[in-house]
């Protein structure tokens, strides 16, 4: 068991009291053992000098498609349904075991270099085991799953077509192989693509299996107005009402986007503890709209942040998502619409709540897992930053290049731009 002492840092804890501590952080194995000034623990194997540096809880990305990392730039300037049919589905269909593996590894490398320590990942129909291999080797914490899309659709390439029974069987096989593996670092999440790709039978079965195995369900919902119009035409219901009708609207459900919700849908999400992953960069790029995040936050909905896949966003960087989340509402709601603290909460403890791990990750507190990033925010500053609010500084001015070290489960997965996977010669 390694004993690591990080010295002299500015520690943004994101605990309930929102403490900022100037001092040391002591890690034993995979957990935080002490936080305070001038710690002198008996046993220390490694000392990290973090003078003038800032430690934040590792970022928790609650919506990503690692299988789309290689498609960056190939699917620009389209709206959701055209983008899926013309670009994304044919590209996903072209994947083989090896390309899925490298797509995942490249995406994870980018995420870890920008301080992300946990992801909620939706893969494609096939070869999901390769993505789990990459997740396992990289050290990142993840909930991941094979996408499920069993509904007949003329626009779907052959390689993405699957039967309801196969979709469920393959998902359960992956769940049994990977759920709670790697010391609990990897978990399974059922991943029906969205209502338009799934039969009612499949969604009902996912609802039962999610309860039986106590695992999350991760899907897209109410992202685009045309999507909603077709869901309503096919089911006679609004999207969230339909998911609720099938028993899916509960605390294990993570819904990406939620741009277009009516009041009744917002109430269901709030009352039933559904988690919403806000993806501002993707919502802008695919011209989906601007989700009413200030309104949802005021209602007490659980909110977190996601970049979505590389082609919806062109980068997988939480600093960009935080900056967008903080700024896009200002023109309509005013300058305090989304303050920096709320935004950093969404990227950290909000994400931890989404994945049901708020007792383990999402803030820097004694007893929690050591998932964190060390930032050097002084590189571009000509004056010392005394008097500046540390949280605003992270949200409004930090960039990916400021991340010097990323740690997951007490293990350093990136230090000074060198990834653990590269160290291992992968
Ligand atoms: N809705 C259904 N599939 C997708 C996808 O791959 N990305 C996004 N952004 N929305 C979707
Ligand atoms: Fe997505």
Which pLDDT score, from 0 to 100, does residue 243 have? 98
| Concatenated DSSP letters of 38-88 | T---S--SEEEE-TT-EEEEPEEEEEE-GGGGGGTTSS-S--HHHIIIIII
How far does the centroid of ligand 1 lie from the alpha carbon of residue 22, in Å? 42
| Concatenated DSSP letters of 95-133 | --HHHHHHHHHHHHHHHHHTTEEEEEEE--SS-HHHHHH
- Alpha-carbon distances of 388 from 1, 112, 358, 377, 393, rounded to whole Å: 37, 26, 28, 12, 7
The residue among 281, 379, 316 whose CA lies nearest residue 53 is 379
How far does the centroid of ligand 1 lie from the alpha carbon of residue 355, in Å? 20
Which pLDDT score, from 0 to 100, does residue 313 have? 82
Query: Which-ligand-closest: CA of 286?
Result: 1
The residue nearest atom 5 of ligand 1, judged by CA position, is 84
Which pLDDT score, from 0 to 100, does residue 425 have? 53
How far does the centroid of ligand 1 lie from the alpha carbon of residue 16, in Å? 34
Rg of the chain, C-alpha, whole Å: 21
The residue among 405, 402, 398 whose CA lies nearest residue 420 is 405
Place of tokens 């500046």: 388
Which pLDDT score, from 0 to 100, does residue 197 have? 98
Cα torsion 191, 194, 200, 204 to 10°: value is 30
Which pLDDT score, from 0 to 100, does residue 414 have? 96
How far does the centroid of ligand 2 lie from the alpha carbon of residue 257, in Å? 8
Phi, psi torsion values for 383, nearest 5 degrees: -120, 150
Which pLDDT score, from 0 to 100, does residue 403 have? 97
Residues 6+ positions from 233 with CB-CB distance below 8 Å: none
Ligand 1 contacts CB of residue 72 (under 6 A): no
Ligand 1 contacts CB of residue 118 (under 6 A): no
- Alpha-carbon distances of 337 from 109, 256, 343, 355, 362, rounded to whole Å: 33, 21, 11, 26, 23
Ligand 1 probe mutation, 220, 231, 311, most atoms within 8 A of CB: 220
- Judge whether 217 and 195 are in contact, CB under 8 Å: no
Ligand 1 contacts CB of residue 308 (under 6 A): yes
How far does the centroid of ligand 2 lie from the alpha carbon of residue 383, in Å? 41
- Judge whether 408 and 142 are in contact, CB under 8 Å: no
- Alpha-carbon distances of 381 from 114, 398, 402, 415, rounded to whole Å: 20, 11, 12, 22
| N-term to C-term CA, the chain | 25
Which pLDDT score, from 0 to 100, does residue 254 have? 98
Q: Which atom of ligand 1 is nearest to the CA of 194?
A: 2
Which pLDDT score, from 0 to 100, does residue 422 have? 66
| Concatenated DSSP letters of 245-309 | HTT--STTEEEEE--S--HHHHHHHHHTT-EEEE-HHHHHHTT-----HHHHHHHT-EEEE----
Which pLDDT score, from 0 to 100, does residue 298 have? 93
Alpha-helical runs (H) found in 139-271: 164-178, 200-213, 225-235, 239-245, 263-271
Q: Is 413 helix (H, G, I), strand (E, B) or coil?
A: strand
Ligand 1 contacts CB of residue 371 (under 6 A): no
ipTM of the complex: 0.99
Which pLDDT score, from 0 to 100, does residue 388 have? 82
Helix or strand (DSSP H, E) at 313: helix 310-313
Which pLDDT score, from 0 to 100, does residue 420 have? 77
How far is the C-alpha of 298 from the C-alpha of 17, rounded, in Å? 19
Ligand 1 contacts CB of residue 277 (under 6 A): no
Which pLDDT score, from 0 to 100, does residue 417 have? 75
How far is the C-alpha of 337 from the C-alpha of 98, rounded, in Å? 44
Which pLDDT score, from 0 to 100, does residue 421 have? 72
Alpha-helical runs (H) found in 328-384: 330-333, 340-347, 349-354
Q: Which two tokens stand for residue 215?
A: 């695992």
Ligand 1 contacts CB of residue 65 (under 6 A): yes
Ligand 1 contacts CB of residue 193 (under 6 A): yes
The residue nearest atom 1 of ligand 1, judged by CA position, is 220
Which pLDDT score, from 0 to 100, does residue 378 have? 81
Which pLDDT score, from 0 to 100, does residue 232 have? 98
Pairing of strands 253-257, 275-278: parallel
Q: Is 204 helix (H, G, I), strand (E, B) or coil?
A: helix
- Judge whether 168 and 124 are in contact, CB under 8 Å: no
Ligand 1 contacts CB of residue 222 (under 6 A): no
Which pLDDT score, from 0 to 100, does residue 381 have? 58
Ligand 1 contacts CB of residue 196 (under 6 A): no
- Alpha-carbon distances of 82 from 75, 172, 226, 289, rounded to whole Å: 10, 31, 11, 16
Which pLDDT score, from 0 to 100, does residue 312 have? 87
326: exposed, middle or buried (C-beta count within 10 Å: 0-12, 13-18, 19+)? buried
pTM across the whole model: 0.97
In order along the chain (426 residues), what is the average pLDDT of each group of 10 residues?
96 97 97 97 96 96 98 90 96 98 97 97 98 97 98 96 98 98 98 98 98 98 98 98 98 98 98 98 96 96 96 91 97 92 98 98 98 88 68 94 97 88 60
Which pLDDT score, from 0 to 100, does residue 212 have? 98
Q: Which two tokens stand for residue 213?
A: 């195995």
């Amino acid at each position: 068991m390694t004993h690591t002492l990080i010295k002299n840092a500015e520690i943004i804890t994101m605990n309930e009291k929102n403490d900022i501590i100037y001092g040391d952080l002591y890690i034993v194995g995979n957990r935080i053992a002490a936080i305070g000034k001038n710690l002198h623990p008996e046993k220390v194997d490694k000392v990290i000098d973090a003078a003038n540096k800032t430690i934040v809880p590792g970022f928790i990305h609650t919506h990503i498609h690692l299988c789309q990392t290689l498609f960056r730039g190939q699917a620009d300037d389209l709206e959701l349904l055209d983008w899926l049919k013309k670009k994304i589905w044919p590209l996903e269909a072209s994947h083989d075991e090896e390309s899925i593996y490298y797509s995942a590894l490249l995406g994870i490398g980018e995420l870890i270099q920008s301080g992300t320590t946990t992801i909620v990942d939706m893969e494609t129909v096939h070869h999901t085991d390769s993505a789990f291999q990459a997740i396992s080797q990289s050290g990142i914490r993840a909930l991941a799953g094979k996408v499920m899309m069993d509904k007949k659709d003329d626009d779907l390439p052959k390689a993405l077509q699957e039967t309801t029974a196969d979709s469920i069987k393959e998902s359960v096989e992956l769940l049994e192989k990977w759920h709670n593996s790697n010391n609990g670092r990897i978990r399974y999440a059922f991943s029906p693509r969205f209502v338009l790709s799934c039969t009612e039978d499949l969604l009902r079965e996912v609802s039962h299996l999610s309860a039986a195995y106590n695992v999350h369900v991760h899907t897209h919902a109410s992202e685009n107005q045309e999507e909603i119009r077709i869901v309503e035409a096919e089911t006679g219901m609004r999207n969230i009402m339909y998911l609720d009708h099938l028993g899916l609207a509960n605390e294990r459900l993570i819904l990406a986007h939620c741009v277009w919700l009516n009041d009744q849908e917002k109430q269901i999400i709030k009352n039933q503890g559904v988690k919403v992953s806000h993806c501002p960069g993707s919502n802008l790029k695919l011209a989906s709209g601007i989700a009413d995040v200030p309104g949802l936050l005021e209602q007490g909905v659980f909110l977190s942040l996601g970049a979505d896949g590389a082609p919806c966003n062109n980068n997988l960087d939480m600093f960009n998502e935080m900056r967008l989340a903080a700024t896009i509402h200002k023109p309509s709601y005013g300058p305090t619409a989304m303050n920096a603290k709320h935004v950093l909460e969404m990227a950290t403890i909000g994400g931890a709540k989404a994945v049901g791990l708020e007792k383990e990750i999402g803030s820097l507190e004694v007893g929690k897992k050591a998932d964190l990033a060390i930032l050097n925010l002084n590189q571009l500053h000509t004056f010392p930053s005394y008097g500046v609010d540390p949280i605003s500084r992270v949200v409004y001015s930090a960039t990916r290049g400021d991340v010097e070290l990323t740690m997951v489960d007490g293990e350093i997965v990136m230090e000074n731009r060198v990834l653990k996977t590269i160290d291992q010669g992968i």
